[in-house]
Amino acid sequence: MFELSPEGKELVKKELARYEDKYSAIIPSLYQIQKENEGWVSPEAVDHLSELTGIPHSHINEVLKFYTMFNLKPTGKYHIQVCCNITCSMFQARELTDDLCQKLGIKEGEVSEDGRFTVSRVECLGSCDNAPAVQVNETYHDNMTPEKMDTLISELK
Amino acid sequence: MPKCTVNGIEVEVKDGATVIEAFMKTNESIAHYCWHPGLSVAGVCRMCMVEIEGNPRLQIACNTPVQDGMVVYNNSEKVKEAVEWTLKFHLINHPLDCPICDQAGECGLQEYYMSHGSYDSEMAERKVKKHKVVDLGEKVVLDTERCILCSRCVRFTDEVTKTNELGIFNRGDRSEIGTFENRPLNNKYSLNTVDICPVGALTSKDFRFRQRVWFLKSFETICQGCSAGCNVQAYYNENGFYRVKPVPNEEVNGHWMCDEGRDVYKFANKEHRLVSGIKKEDSGLSHMAPGAAAVQLREDLSDTKKAALVLTGQYTTEEYLKFVDSFTKNYGNEVYHWINNPKTFDDFDGILLRGDKNPNTVGLLRVLEGKGIKSSWADLEEKLNSGQIEHLVVAGPENLAVFPDLEEKVTLFGQAQKLTVLTPVKSKFYESADYQIPMKSFMEKDGTFVNHKGIEQKLGRGPIVVSQALTLLDLSMILDGSDFISVNSASMGGSL
């Protein structure tokens, strides 16, 4: 059974009071859950949030499934998100993703055997000036090349 | 009260009314999917486009309030073209599987396709595949490919039942209606979502694939399931009744009815009905015409010193008036009211469902009061226990499902020396009765039901299922001495 930490609950409470419509608190609350629940939002977590906020399950689920930033399956310890929008793609982001998957021996969205990595393609990270951009959990890594990627992976324990 | 002109017709509407409501008032047709008079405005289907004089852009009628002096059209070429395009967008991912779709014949897409469709798709792209035959709950099935995301069903569970089971999940052309896991659509009004679904996305498990709608005829009547008295449309053909749907009536049921009420057509069908009069004799049960059984009952009753009558709230006011009159005149003032579920009798769920599962309790009480009858059920029990009642006549229920005490009560009634049951439906509990006389169901007769508020509503007589069955009016005439059974309504209405 998932339950938010006291700080997490405090955050949800604050967000609920912050907007005139309590539905607006769904996104920040889901982010908090994702942070505390090893990188994904489980159905039990939705149950918990619904109980906490009084927002119906179906409507939390609407938000959860609309935004791709919320993961609906468990991810590895490090969630490597490669931007594959126009600019990054022009700088070989797609090839970079394929290469990365091959090296880790996984397909996009899968968790590597040691539980450390998940790779996924994402939409624009807003870092076109440093394409190709990669986001690992909440940290940005710019101007990525296959070589820089190798170093990055070896540094991530 | 603002006035406006709709396609050249001047119309006055309530303050705050929208343009689509003005269209509804003039009976001018306007295409729409997401707007529903019983729900909030969503403005998502974009079908109700109108041209407003002085406004360069087309507007949606459902979300534009009427202003005094507004001149609105929806028959101009500009509007027609816009609606045509909107329909094309709706059909991009629609499977167009009308031949196997249960909604065919009463589908919003089909209807507007006839008036606005281009008959030749300009889409070369493949359609998006989505979930088919999604089991949403006990009564409703969803086909997400047919859904046009009008959100009527979502708004229904949010605003009317407030149970919030449904939501629109995912994005763009992958969006689909669904429920959260382990939280199925199982509220007591779930089948209203099927009624308001403008396409074949939501279908009723009870009705789907059983009949093509164009083979059904219908008539308007009053639901028999509880004392709310919802107005309904009953659908039937030569094989019997198939379904009932709500008919809007602001005073009584708004636009809705409960799921329970949608099952009441079932007992009116032939397989549940008692079709002949049955008399218990030493040699066994003897079957005869209902009228003949009634004549024998009259003769039997004439030798009786102590007869009593038990009434359920399942008959019409007209029947009570005449029958109580005949009975008391001929056999004395022993008339009792059978309340089937005293504990939950006064319940109300806040929407429509009433604890009193009889359509005409108020009508019955009014008649008893008018005749000055003030008997209590305890009296009857005492008299039965002490063997004071020789012959008990029971006008039994037709909706046996709401009489959980049936077996117990019939055992109690059995203490009378003789027992007569008047009943539209057969039941194994009645086998010990001395007479069983078949009655007409509420679908087959004229009359009045009085609902819990005291509103009198007329039944609309449908087809006759058991033509030889009697009504309490027929039986009164026989008890009064007439042998002419041919007066019964079988000779008046059409029959299945």
Nearest CA in chain A to B171: A66
Of the pLDDT bands very low, low, confident and very high (cuts 50, 70, 90), residue B484 is low
One domain for residues B336 and B456: yes
The answer to the question of residue B315 being in a domain is yes
Burial label for B307, CB within 10 Å (0-12, 13-18, 19+), is buried
Nearest CA in chain B to A66: B170
List the beta bridge partners of residue B495: B464
One domain for residues B148 and B168: yes
Q: Give residue B190's domain range.
A: 98-209
Closest CA to B470 of B430, B432, B436: B436
Judge whether B165 is closer than 8 Å to chain A, CB to CB. yes
What does the pLDDT average to over B194-218? 96
The 3-state DSSP class for residue A24 equals helix
Of the pLDDT bands very low, low, confident and very high (cuts 50, 70, 90), residue B323 is very high
The answer to the question of residue B290 being in a domain is yes
B372/B368 Cα distance (integer angstroms): 6
pLDDT above 70 for B322: yes
The 3-state DSSP class for residue B269 equals coil
3-state secondary structure string, A54-121? CCCHHHHHHHHHHCCCCCCCCCCCEEEEEECCHHHHHCCHHHHHHHHHHHHCCCCCCECCCCCEEEEE
Judge whether A59 is closer than 8 Å to chain B, CB to CB. yes
**Between chains, do A57 and B170 touch, taking CB under 8 Å as contact?**
no
Domain A78-155 part of CATH 3.30.420.40: no
List the beta bridge partners of residue B420: B393, B435
Judge whether A66 is closer than 8 Å to chain B, CB to CB. yes
Chain A nearest-CA distance from B162, in A, is: 10
Mean pLDDT of chain B: 93
Nearest CA in chain A to B172: A66
**Between chains, do B166 and A58 touch, taking CB under 8 Å as contact?**
yes
One domain for residues B151 and B109: yes
B450/A116 Cα distance (integer angstroms): 71
The answer to the question of residue B472 being in a domain is yes
**Between chains, do A62 and B166 touch, taking CB under 8 Å as contact?**
no
One domain for residues B388 and B329: yes
Judge whether A69 is closer than 8 Å to chain B, CB to CB. no
Of the pLDDT bands very low, low, confident and very high (cuts 50, 70, 90), residue B454 is very high
Judge whether B183 is closer than 8 Å to chain A, CB to CB. yes
The 3-state DSSP class for residue A10 equals helix
What does the pLDDT average to over B287-296? 93
Residues of B whose CB is below 8 A from A43: 180-182
Domain positions in chain A are 6-66, 78-155
One domain for residues B73 and B115: no
Q: Which two tokens stand for residue B270?
A: 């032939």
Give the tens place of pLDDT for each residue, B371-420. 999 889 999 999 999 999 999 999 999 999 999 999 999 999 999 999 99
pLDDT above 60 for B494: no
Of the pLDDT bands very low, low, confident and very high (cuts 50, 70, 90), residue B9 is very high
Residues of B whose CB is below 8 A from A66: 169-171
Instruction: Read off the CATH number of the domain in which B124 is found.
Output: 3.30.70.20
Count of beta carbons in the 10 Å neighbourhood of residue B335: 24
What percent of chain B clears pLDDT 90, i.e. is strictly above it?
91
Question: Among B183, B209, B235, which residue terminates a domain?
Answer: B209
Count of beta carbons in the 10 Å neighbourhood of residue A5: 11
Instruction: Read off the CATH number of the domain in which B363 is found.
Output: 3.40.50.740
Question: Among B176, B209, B242, which residue terminates a domain?
Answer: B209
What does the pLDDT average to over B215-237? 96
What does the pLDDT average to over B204-210? 96
Compute, in degrees rounded to 10, the torsion defined by CA atoms B14, B15, B18, B20: 10
**Between chains, do B179 and A58 touch, taking CB under 8 Å as contact?**
yes
Question: Among B55, B90, B125, which residue terminates a domain?
Answer: B90
Judge whether B164 is closer than 8 Å to chain A, CB to CB. yes
* pLDDT per 10-residue tile (average), chain A, 157 residues: 94 95 96 92 96 96 94 93 95 95 93 92 94 93 94 89
B5/B19 Cα distance (integer angstroms): 10
A121 in Cβ contact with A132 (< 8 Å): no
pLDDT score for B119: 75
Judge whether A4 is closer than 8 Å to chain B, CB to CB. no
The answer to the question of residue B164 being in a domain is yes
Q: How far is CA A57 from CA A121, A155, B161, B394, in A?
A: 28, 40, 15, 50
* Ramachandran sector of residue A101 (left: φ over 0; alpha: ψ -120 to 50; beta: rest): alpha
pLDDT score for B118: 74
Residue from the list B158, B167, B171 with its beta carbon closest to the beta carbon of A61: B167
The answer to the question of residue B230 being in a domain is no
The answer to the question of residue B79 being in a domain is yes
Domain count, chain B: 3
One domain for residues B204 and B65: no
